Amino acid sequence: MPARLVVSLSGLTDARSDALVTARTLAADLDARGVPLTQLVQPASPAGPPSDALLDWMGERGDTIALHGYDHTPDPARRGGVGRKGEFSALPRHEAGLRLVAARRALSVLGLTTEIFAAPRWLASPGTVDAAREQGFRMCLDDTGVHLFDDGVVLRARALGFRLDQAVSDAARRRAESWRARILHTEAVRIARRAGVVRIGVRAKDLRRPARIAAVLETVDAVLAAGAWPTTYASLSAVAPGTRIA
């Protein structure tokens, strides 16, 4: 069974206008390697809906779209620290369902549809997973794996990428960047050699760090060299491409 590689891009809704330029470059570099891109779209935000330029670009590319939460605002009661941990990290099923309905409606207004839900910060409460299943999503993506509702299984695959940034000195940041790049590369290659699913998540804020983008591309090259099959979340299934079923 071959390994599989999925690369996603999130955060462009709230990103600065110059982020789209860098995103185009990253997408072109991935295209040159035969690696498709999955776009995680947040349909609403305090800054407003996604720009026309972003929507036009996504439409031109025809990338797989995943619903990336609603507006990422914290829970008013801050139950379980939702404001820090993620929009859907602690919601019970009913509340998660209401927010998913609103998110889907907002996405449809943008002319976009999807059957894939990607939890913000990859954190989805059990209630959120249940709500996504009940509302007809084909899959729910969280930190530890991909819930494939049609197949009734969970593909165990950690989400890899650059974690939350902290205010540190320039010297410490450079050391941290180098360490993060090594961890990303090592973990991704290890998973690929074990014929697993390599999930690399790039955020809009990562696009402002050339070293991070270079690390992502170097890691993608290494994973492909290890025999991984590039794909999108929409094409993931319980059985990898090329696998013979008795």
Query: What is the C-alpha separation between 197 and 4, in angstroms, rounded?
Result: 5
Rounded to an integer, what distance in angstroms lies between the CA atom of residue 104 and that of residue 99? Answer: 9
Q: Has residue 53 been placed in a domain? A: yes
Short-list 193, 201, 190, 156, CA closest to 6: 201
- Give domain status of residue 242, yes or no: no
Gyration radius of the chain over CA positions: 17
> To the nearest whole percent, how much of the chain has pLDDT over 90?
73
Report the candidate in 121, 147, 23 with the shortest Cα–Cα distance to residue 69: 121
Give domain status of residue 135, yes or no: yes
Q: Is 243 among the domain residues?
A: no
Q: How many residues can be counted in the chain? A: 246
Query: Domains in the chain: how many in total?
Result: 1
> What is the residue type of 113?
T
CATH code where residue 216 lies? 3.20.20.370
Q: For 149, list phi and psi in degrees, rounded to 5.
A: -70, -40
Domain membership of residue 175 (yes or no) is yes
pLDDT score recorded for residue 168: 45
Low-confidence ranges of the chain (pLDDT < 70): 15-16, 73-85, 164-175, 239-246
Instruction: Let me know if residue 125 belongs to a domain.
Output: yes
Domain assignment present for 240: no
Q: What is the dihedral of CA 203, 48, 20, 173, to 10 degrees?
A: -40
**Could you list the residue range(s) of the whole structural domain that residue 138 is in?**
4-235
Are 236 and 197 in contact by the 8 Å Cβ rule? The answer is yes
Cα angle: 112, vertex 100, 234; to 5 degrees: 50
27: left (phi over 0), alpha (psi -120 to 50) or beta: alpha
Terminal C-alpha separation, the chain: 14
The kind and range of the H/E element at 134 are helix 126-134
CB-based burial of residue 239 (10 Å sphere; 0-12 exposed, 13-18 middle, 19+ buried)?
Answer: exposed
Q: pTM here? A: 0.89
Is residue 231 helix, strand or coil?
strand
- The string of DSSP letters for 46-58 reads TT-SPPHHHHHHH
**Burial class of 92 by CB neighbour count within 10 A (0 to 12, 13 to 18, 19+):** middle
Is residue 146 situated within a structural domain? yes
